[in-house]
Amino acid sequence: MPEPSSVRSLITPQDQTLRTVFNAQRSYFIDIYQREYKWTDENVKTLLNDVEVRFTQYQRPKSAPKEIQEDVLERFEPYFLNTYLTTARWNRSTPVL
């Protein structure tokens, strides 16, 4: 059964970098019913280790931050973290669903 058009107009997917998400002038919080699904320290360590292993596979001759960024964008595919949903609130705090 097709989704109502009103639901499709409310959900607008966007690819975002972590920099874009965390540089935004808003706060994020996890709504009460989602808190049991929060990441543990071990989940965060696993993610950071995965990223570190991937990026240390290649020798990086560049040292300037802009050159490193260009090198990374040229050599590596995006790292998919997962989908997350947010909703806008009047006070600019955004719950993560």
Q: Is 74 helix (H, G, I), strand (E, B) or coil?
A: helix
Q: Residue 3: its pLDDT value, please?
A: 56
Mean pLDDT of the 51-55 span: 83
The domain of 64 spans 5-96
Whether pLDDT at 48 is above 80: yes
Taking only the tens place, the pLDDT of each residue in 60-97 is 777 888 988 888 888 888 777 777 777 766 665 555 55
The count of domains in the chain is 1
Q: What is the pLDDT of residues 29-42, one digit of tens each?
A: 777 777 777 788 99
Residue 50 pLDDT: 87
pTM as predicted:
0.48
CA dihedral of residues 41, 75, 67, 15 (deg, nearest 10)? -60
CA–CA gap between residue 60 and residue 70 (Å, rounded): 11
pLDDT beyond 60 at 28? yes
